[in-house]
């Protein structure tokens, strides 16, 4: 019996040694997962929050781009992440992405909005300095994560978040290399005087009734200027030659591009025939939400566009 017991003990020890070495080997070859941070930043006495995602290869590489993704009115960081699949894109394409959150209203619904100019709601009424918040956030992330290239910082956003990206292009052109607003129009109230030409990619649906492409009364009863009015502002800012305009018409979308603008920048517009007030290629996560366009993938177009530009 004693001999049998010793054999059993020896067998058990060998088994656990085998398991330990197997686990060590597996962990060495298994891919690393993304690193996620829920952060906060005190700005003008208000605790501002954000969700940061580092790609799986962050520890092994350098020269990362940072994409600032701003959610729409009533949304939040986790909603934008889950609905638009941007973190999956960031992990597969190896860039850092941050989802800053807007100030929450004191009302019963606690709606979050950005102060993009004339829109929207609580942030405009209280004159929340969202430009200062994003500027300080960029500084904070560049300090904490030195592998991010300060010349490769970009901004995108949905609806009110897209409007905010236009304002950032006007006021933070020295920090943001390019922007890609989605389903919005430019609603800034201050003169737009960027220190440099800012490349712009705008994505919109012809069927969007909440922020109409042609302009008009939309969501929450706000008046939104025509998208082309904002584009015209940037054609002047970037000194784009009128003759450089190219229009490519496809079955489900139209692509308009102005090339040979100042500093080799471009301005591009994708106008889809399907979808609505939604993120093209994203998820239709709620019955009350508009169905996203299937004609294009906003994530693929935006990342390909950003990769072409960096700050001088």
Quick: pLDDT tens for 235-260.
Answer: 999 999 999 999 999 999 999 999 99
Please name the residues in contact with 256: beta carbons below 8 A apart, sequence gap of 6 or more: 245, 246, 247, 248, 268, 269, 271
What pLDDT, on the 0 to 100 scale, is given for residue 105? 82
Model confidence at 111, pLDDT cuts 50, 70, 90, reads confident
pLDDT of residue 250: 97
Classify domain 32-306 at the CATH topology level. Rossmann fold (3.40.50)
**pTM higher than the cut 0.85:** yes
Strands 200-205 and 267-272: parallel
The confidence band for 108, taking pLDDT boundaries of 50, 70 and 90, is low
Q: What tens digit of pLDDT does each residue of 9-29 get?
A: 333 333 333 323 333 333 333
CB atoms within 10 A of CB 78: 13
Burial of 138 (0-12, 13-18, 19+ CB in 10 A): buried
Q: Is the pLDDT of residue 312 over 70?
A: yes
Tell me: pLDDT of 92 over 80: yes
Residue 98 pLDDT = 98
What is the Cα–Cα distance from 70 to 263, expressed in whole angstroms? Answer: 27
Structure tokens at 54: 């580092």
* Domain boundary assignment for the chain: 32-306
Give tens-digit pLDDT for 122-131: 999 999 999 9
Instruction: Give the span between the Cα atoms of 271 and 223, in whole angstroms.
Output: 20
């Amino acid at each position: 019996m004693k001999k049998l017991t010793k054999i059993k003990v020896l067998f058990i020890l060998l088994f656990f040694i085998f398991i330990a070495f197997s686990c060590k080997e597996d962990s060495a070859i298994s891919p690393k997962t993304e690193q996620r941070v829920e952060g906060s930043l005190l700005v003008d006495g208000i605790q501002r929050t954000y969700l940061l995602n580092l790609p799986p290869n962050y520890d092994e590489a350098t020269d990362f781009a940072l994409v600032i993704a701003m959610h729409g009115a009533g949304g939040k960081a986790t909603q934008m992440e889950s609905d638009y699949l941007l973190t999956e894109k960031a992990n597969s394409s190896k860039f850092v992405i941050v989802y800053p959150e807007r100030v929450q209203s004191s009302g019963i619904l606690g709606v979050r909005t950005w102060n993009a100019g004339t829109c929207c709601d609580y942030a405009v009424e209280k004159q929340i300095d969202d430009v200062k918040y994003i500027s300080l956030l960029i500084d904070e992330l560049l300090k904490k994560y030195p592998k991010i290239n300060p010349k490769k910082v970009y901004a995108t956003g949905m609806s009110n978040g897209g409007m905010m990206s236009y304002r950032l292009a006007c006021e933070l052109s020295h920090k943001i290399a390019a922007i890609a607003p989605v389903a919005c129009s430019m609603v800034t109230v201050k003169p737009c005087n960027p220190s440099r030409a800012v490349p712009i990619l705008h994505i919109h649906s012809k069927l969007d009734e909440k922020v109409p492409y042609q302009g008009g009364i939309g969501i929450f009863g706000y008046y939104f200027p025509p998208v082309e009015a904002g584009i015209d502002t940037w054609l002047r800012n970037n000194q784009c030659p009128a003759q450089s305009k190219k229009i490519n018409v496809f079955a489900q979308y139209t692509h308009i591009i102005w090339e040979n603008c100042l500093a080799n920048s471009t301005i591009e517009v994708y106008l889809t025939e399907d979808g609505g007030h939604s993120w093209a290629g994203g998820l239709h996560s709620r019955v009350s939400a508009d169905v996203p366009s299937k004609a294009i993938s906003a994530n693929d177009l935006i990342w390909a566009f950003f990769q072409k530009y960096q700050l001088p």
